[in-house]
A = this chain, B = another copy of it.
Amino acid sequence: MSEPYTPTARTRLVREPDRAVYDRAAAYQILDEGFICHVGFVVDGQPFVIPTGYGRASDNLYIHGSAASRMLRRIDQGVPVCVTVTLLDGLVLARSIFNHSMNYRSVVVLGTAVAVEDPKEKLEALRLLSEHILPGRWAESRQPNEREVKATLVMRLPITEFSAKVRQGPPIDDAEDYGFPTWAGVIPLKLVAGTPINDPRLDPSTPVPGYAGAYSRKQVG
């Protein structure tokens, strides 16, 4: 089930409108697949773009960090932010340099974030952030205590104004280039997990949990 969504002047794609995705469910699928987002905010006219983890619940994005974080303290002032998640799916090799491209899926969310003050919602948001990255890990970890929850700032960004952009499939060359004698196609890219590495201080008899050993759900964000 996906709500209809009408882009604003700020989120409507002007170029390559065929790559635009204004479908909320499709955008959420991209958000749910990424690991990290890039958060944009402005200080004295200068934009900053900082990578960080995130989670989604319903029509809200959550980011978090130390209450001392320069980024979060800025965002906590109610300034406009932009949160972008990008999944890179492949290199697109056309015959002409000009038509080379990448296959990707990205979502851009504009808005203003609000600090989550309610301790219960805050803890739930932290659980979401954890489960987003590694489902199953939360329950097996030492839970946050009151001091840690207090030291953490969690910001909620409503997913109200957004756009998604998707490019998939083979290269599109100019008609006259299809005879050019070079290989053309797609090199697929995928983020994969390697063999888990034990913490050197771990009791080596501790088994590697299933969620760590068979991690293949995600692409990078």
A78 interface contact, C-beta 8 A: no
State whether B170 touches A183 (Cβ < 8 A): no
Chain B CB count within 10 A is highest, among A81, A133, A148, A184, for A184
**Of B66, B137, B208, which contacts A15 at CB under 8 A?**
B66
Interface size in chain A (residues, C-beta < 8 A):
90
Digitize A164-183: 1 where CB-to-B-CB distance is under 8 Å, 0 elsewhere.
00000011000001101111
Partner of A126, one of B14, B97, B194: B97
How far is the CB of A26 from the nearest CB of chain B, in Å? 17
- A83 interface contact, C-beta 8 A: yes
In the bound complex, how far is the Cα of B140 from the Cα of A108, in angstroms? 35
Selected interface stretch from A17-25, A114-122, A197-205: A197-205
Interface centre among A39, A41, A66, A189 (most CB of B within 10 A): A189
Task: Find out whether the CB atom of B42 lies under 8 angstroms from the CB atom of A88.
Answer: no
Chain B residue nearest in CB terms to A171: B199
Chain A 78-114 residues near chain B, CB threshold 8 A? 80-84, 86, 88, 91, 93-98, 100, 102, 104, 106, 108, 110
Give residues of chain A (143-192) contacting chain B, Cβ–Cβ below 8 Å.
Answer: 143-144, 148, 152, 170-171, 177-178, 180-192
User: How many copies of this chain are found per oligomer?
Assistant: 2
* Chain B residues within an 8 Å CB radius of A141: 93-97, 100, 180, 182
User: Taking A141-B94, A185-B202, A191-B191 as contacts, is the C-beta distance between A82 and B47 under 8 angstroms?
Assistant: yes
Is A188 in contact with B178, judged by CB distance below 8 angstroms? no
Please indicate the chain B residues that have their CB under 8 angstroms from the CB of A53 in the complex. Answer: 102
Give chain B residues whose Cβ lies under 8 Å from the Cβ of A189: 35, 191-194, 220
A212 close to B93 (CB less than 8 A)? yes
